[in-house]
């Protein structure tokens, strides 16, 4: 299997939600986890935990919680106004693929739950006001976990495995924590189905750089081609 470069992985690691039932060898999962823990975290605390669920009964429990949680967000996606940058086809595909996963999370041979301990010691910043504190707490908690998630996405792509970052399960997080015995002080940030994909990789479609990148001040577009 030829290695692909990091830019090819970045440009083609689109969300994949349909998987072959073939198991993923444990040594491949280990490589993915090794990539995950190379990520940065605030203060280098590395308070992350990765629960790899392959047992079919455990996957069913996690899948049931994901399906239940997804019921709450489904009407939003059914009725939302299509973002301008998305074509009708892209919007239809996102819904069909997303809704498929609502019912089929447990079909992926591997479910990876990326967790973090977010109640550790913190600097006393109360003098900065509640808003700044909340922003800082949320941002640093998330930013200490999601880089590891992105490493998982890129490692999967490089190893020809499909995956997608999902968060719907958080709405029924306690059911998953109970099923997997996850302690109270640990929170779950991402549920990632992983497997050999039925669909094809990339390219990902994004808004053009000219709409989102600026030079020196807000509103002055970065002069990219």
Site map for ligand FMN, 3-42, x if CB under 6 A? -----------xx-x-------------------------
Total residues found in the chain within this entry: 225
Interface of this chain with ligand FMN, residues 164 to 183, rule: CB under 6 A: 164-168
Asked whether 82 and 107 are in contact (CB, 8 A), the reply is no
Size of the site for ligand FMN (CB under 6 A): 12
Binding of residue 138 to ligand FMN (CB under 6 A)? no
The distance of closest approach from Cβ of residue 93 to ligand FMN in the complex, given in angstroms and rounded to an integer, is 9
Binding of residue 94 to ligand FMN (CB under 6 A)? yes
Binding of residue 118 to ligand FMN (CB under 6 A)? no
Question: In terms of C-beta density within 10 A (0-12 exposed, 13-18 middle, 19 or more buried), how is residue 110 classed?
Answer: buried
Cβ-Cβ contacts under 8 Å for 134 (sequence gap 6 or more): none
Question: In terms of C-beta density within 10 A (0-12 exposed, 13-18 middle, 19 or more buried), how is residue 29 classed?
Answer: buried
| Residue 79 or 127 having the CB closest to ligand FMN | 79
User: What is the longest distance spanned by two Cα atoms in the chain?
Assistant: 55
For binding to ligand FMN (CB under 6 A), which residues are involved?
14-15, 17, 94, 98, 101, 164-168, 204
């Amino acid at each position: 299997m030829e290695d692909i470069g990091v830019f090819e992985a970045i440009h083609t690691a689109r969300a994949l939600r349909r998987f072959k039932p073939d198991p993923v060898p444990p040594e491949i999962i280990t490589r993915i986890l090794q990539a995950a823990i190379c990520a940065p975290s605030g203060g280098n605390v590395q308070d992350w935990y990765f629960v790899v669920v392959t047992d079919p009964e455990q996957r069913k429990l996690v899948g049931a919680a994901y399906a239940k949680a997804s019921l709450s967000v489904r009407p939003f996606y059914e009725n939302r106004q299509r973002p301008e940058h998305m074509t009708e086809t892209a919007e239809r595909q996102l819904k069909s693929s997303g809704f498929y996963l609502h019912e089929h999370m447990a079909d992926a041979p591997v479910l990876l739950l990326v967790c973090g301990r977010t109640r550790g010691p913190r600097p006393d910043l109360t003098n900065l006001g509640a808003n700044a504190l909340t922003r800082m707490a949320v941002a640093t908690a998330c930013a200490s976990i999601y880089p590891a998630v992105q490493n998982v996405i890129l490692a999967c792509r490089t190893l020809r495995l499909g995956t997608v970052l999902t968060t719907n399960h958080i709405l029924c997080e306690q059911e998953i924590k109970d099923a997997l015995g996850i302690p109270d002080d640990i929170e779950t940030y991402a549920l990632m189905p992983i497997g050999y994909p039925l669909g094809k990789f990339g390219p990902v479609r994004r808004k053009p750089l000219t709409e989102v990148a600026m030079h020196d001040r807000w509103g002055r577009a970065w002069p990219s081609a």
